[in-house]
Structure 1
Amino acid sequence: MPFRPGGMATITRKQARHAVTLAALALAVTLKATLGFAGGVVRAGLRGAEPSAGKAASAQPSAFEGLLPAAGALAVGASAIALRRSSASSSKGWSPVALRATRVEWFRKVRRISGDRAVFDVTVKKPMGLVLEYLPDKKGGMRGVGVSEIVKDGNGYELNRKVCVTEEDEGMWILEGDRIIAVNGIETVDASIEDIARLVGESPDDSVVLTLCRNTRLGPIKVVVLPEGEFATVRRNSRLSSAVEFAKGKEIKYGCIDGWCGTCWHRERVTGWLFKPCSDLITTDWDNVMPMVLYPKPEKAGDATLLSPRGQ
Structure 2
Amino acid sequence: MRALLRLLALCLLSTGARAFVWPHASTRGGRGRSASAASASAPSEDEEGLMVTIAKVRRPLGVILEEREGGSGVEVLDIDPRGNAAGEDVLVGDRVLMIDAQQCGDEGFDAVAGRIGASAGDRVELTLGRRIGTVRIIWPNGAQSGALPGEPLQELALKARYPVKYACTSGSCGTCEHRLRTPGDDIRYTRLCVARVPKGKEVAQVLPGDRF
Q: TM-score, normalised on structure 2?
A: 0.59
- Counterpart amino acid of residue 197 in structure 1: A
Deviation at 1:214, TM superposition (A): 0.8
**Structure 2 stretches lacking a partner, 5+ long:** 1-32
Indicate the residue corresponding to 2:199 in structure 1: 285
Deviation at 1:211, TM superposition (A): 0.1
Indicate the residue corresponding to 2:45 in structure 1: 113
Match of 2:63 among 127, 130, 134: 130
Rg larger for: 1
Q: Distance in 2 between matches of 1:180 and 1:247?
A: 22
Identity percentage of aligned residues = 19
Q: Secondary structure at the match of 1:275?
A: strand
1:218-270: CA deviation from partner (whole Å, max 9, x where unpaired): x6853333xxx5336486431469849x8775659xxxx579x9xx6735252
Deviation at 1:152, TM superposition (A): 3.9
Indicate the residue corresponding to 1:155 in structure 2: 84
Higher relative contact order (CA 8 A, sep 6+): 2
1:159-210: CA deviation from partner (whole Å, max 9, x where unpaired): 24xxxxxxxxxxxx11112111111121112222222222222222011100
Q: Secondary structure at the match of 1:147?
A: strand
Deviation at 1:127, TM superposition (A): 1.7
Paired residues in the alignment total 167
Q: Secondary structure at the match of 2:110?
A: helix
Counting only pairs closer than 5 Å after superposition, residues 67-216 of structure 1 correspond to structure 2 as 113-114=45-46, 117-136=50-69, 141-157=70-86, 159-160=87-88, 173-216=89-132
Q: Distance in 1 between matches of 2:114 and 2:122?
A: 15
Indicate the residue corresponding to 2:7 in structure 1: none
Q: Distance in 1 between matches of 2:198 and 2:35?
A: 32
Cα distance change, pair 144–205 in 1 and its aligned pair in 2 (3 A): same
Q: Distance in 2 between matches of 1:132 and 1:144?
A: 10
8 Å contact 1:144–1:179 — kept in the other structure? yes
Q: Distance in 2 between matches of 1:190 and 1:242?
A: 26
- Counterpart amino acid of residue 135 in structure 1: R
Q: TM-score, normalised on structure 1?
A: 0.42
1:230 aligns with 2:154: no
1:258-296: CA deviation from partner (whole Å, max 9, x where unpaired): 79x9xx673525243333212762247256xx4422456
Greater share of strand: 2
Counting only pairs closer than 5 Å after superposition, residues 238-253 of structure 1 correspond to structure 2 as 238-239=152-153, 243=157, 249=163
Cα distance change, pair 148–295 in 1 and its aligned pair in 2 (3 A): closer
- Counterpart amino acid of residue 191 in structure 2: C
**Aligned residues: CA RMSD:** 4.1
Q: Distance in 2 between matches of 1:200 and 1:241?
A: 29
Indicate the residue corresponding to 1:272 in structure 2: 185
8 Å contact 1:177–1:220 — kept in the other structure? no
1:61 aligns with 2:61: no
Cα distance change, pair 293–186 in 1 and its aligned pair in 2 (3 A): same
Cα distance change, pair 232–249 in 1 and its aligned pair in 2 (3 A): farther
Cα distance change, pair 240–223 in 1 and its aligned pair in 2 (3 A): farther
**Structure 1 stretches lacking a partner, 5+ long:** 1-56, 66-110, 161-172, 299-308
8 Å contact 1:230–1:247 — kept in the other structure? no
